[in-house]
Amino acid sequence: MAGKTDLAIVVLHYGDPSLTVNCLRSLDGCGASIYLVENGPEGSPGGEQPDLGPGVRKIRTGANLGFAGGMNAGIRQALSDGSRFIAIMNNDTEAEPGFAEKIMEKFLGREGGKVCFSPLITDASGDSVWFGGGRMSWIGARAKHFGFGSRQMPAEEAESGFLTGCVLCFPGEAAEKTGLMKEDYFLYWEDIDWSARLRRKGFRLMVFPDVRVRHLGSASSGLESDSYLYYYHRNQLIFLARNCPFILLPFAFGGVCLNLVRVCAAWLLRHGADGRRKAKASLRGFADFFLGRRGRMPFPAGAS
């Protein structure tokens, strides 16, 4: 009979160590195997791991491998150690009580059912929805979160068009049949891509509202940062090229181009020098897709 020791929870540490400490404290005593991945070179700013004692297995990547690269390092180790079920978590999340037990209930109640899921993810206060499922629109390549910002919490489990890598739970079979996340995205869209691949392999993507996690914020980059804009616009096109039905590609690409023009115009008209830099980061991400540049962006934030 399976127990909590069959569950591995992989936490990716990058940025603020206090967020990582808070995340791990919310998992203290849960009974699952905890893997903490330090995703950065030793001694890098914000890369220092706190001392969390012997109950947490630490994995050092030795370099910033991006979101997928860091998470994949922890997933590979957990699978190698024999874990049957895995949950990945950003370090800027906080599990509510009973998190590990509820995950195992979902897996064991549907064992053999090819299910992957995200919990209901709320904002930091726990009072409004951050992720309660989502839908992918190919026209313009938009991944929309259901109920984002709503104080009306969903009561019933539901199927989702994609899952968020902020917190994502899956059986080891999913990684074996689908492969892990594509590391050349580096940051953003890798979870949407993985969701599309999981669905093609027959896995159902679910959100269970009785399993809850709080999302405290973006630990890696803000939603208006140069790096976010670069990765978002480049990786959106990578995702489309790999996953969009061929017949819809012209409409999807046209929608992306129109949105890019709108976004850049807004930055240029309203935000002065800062806006010009952000528009340039967006356009460079768009151009680098066609130049075949993948992985980490080739310029430091603020120097696009």
pTM of the entire structure? 0.90
For 236, half-sphere exposure in the C-beta direction (CA atoms, 13 angstrom radius) is 27
Residue 222 in this model has a pLDDT that exceeds 60: no
Question: What pLDDT is recorded for position 3?
Answer: 53
Which single residue is written with the structure tokens 């030793």?
A: 42
- Contact present, 19 and 219 (Cβ < 8 Å): yes
Which single residue is written with the structure tokens 């969390």?
A: 52
Question: What pLDDT is recorded for position 138?
Answer: 87
16-32 average pLDDT score: 90
30-44 average pLDDT score: 82
Strand partners, 88: 10, 168
Per-residue pLDDT reduced to its tens digit, 2-17: 555 699 999 999 878 8
Task: Write out the H or E segment, with its range, that includes residue 12.
Answer: strand 7-13
Q: 172, exposed or middle or buried, with CB in 10 Å at 0-12, 13-18, 19+?
A: middle
- Contact present, 55 and 84 (Cβ < 8 Å): no
3-state helix, strand, coil in the chain (%, to 5): 40, 20, 40
Closest alpha carbon to 70 in 10, 9, 12: 12
Question: What pLDDT is recorded for position 304?
Answer: 46
Question: What pLDDT is recorded for position 245?
Answer: 92
Task: Indicate the SS3 state at residue 67.
Answer: helix
Question: Cβ of 182: how many Cβ atoms within 10 Å?
Answer: 20
Per-residue pLDDT reduced to its tens digit, 223-239: 678 899 999 999 999 99
179-189 average pLDDT score: 96
Q: Which has the higher per-residue pLDDT, 95 or 144?
A: 95
Average pLDDT, the chain: 88
Task: Indicate the SS3 state at residue 61.
Answer: coil
Tell me, letter by letter, the H, E, C secondary structure of 240-301: HHHHCCHHHHHHHHHHHHHHHHHHHHHHHHHCHHHHHHHHHHHHHHHHHHHCCCCCCCCCCC
- Kindly compute the dihedral angle of the four CA atoms of residues 106, 145, 213, 32, in this order, to the nearest 10 degrees: 40
- Contact present, 4 and 31 (Cβ < 8 Å): yes
Per DSSP, the residues of 174-208 read HHHHH-S--GGG-SSSHHHHHHHHHHHTT-EEEEE
CA distance 268 to 273: 8
Question: What pLDDT is recorded for position 180?
Answer: 97
140-163 average pLDDT score: 90
Residue 276 in this model has a pLDDT that exceeds 70: yes
Question: Percentage of the chain with pLDDT > 70?
Answer: 89
Residue 84 in this model has a pLDDT that exceeds 50: yes
**Gyration radius from the chain CA atoms:** 19
Task: Indicate the SS3 state at residue 23.
Answer: helix
Q: Which has the higher per-residue pLDDT, 59 or 40?
A: 59
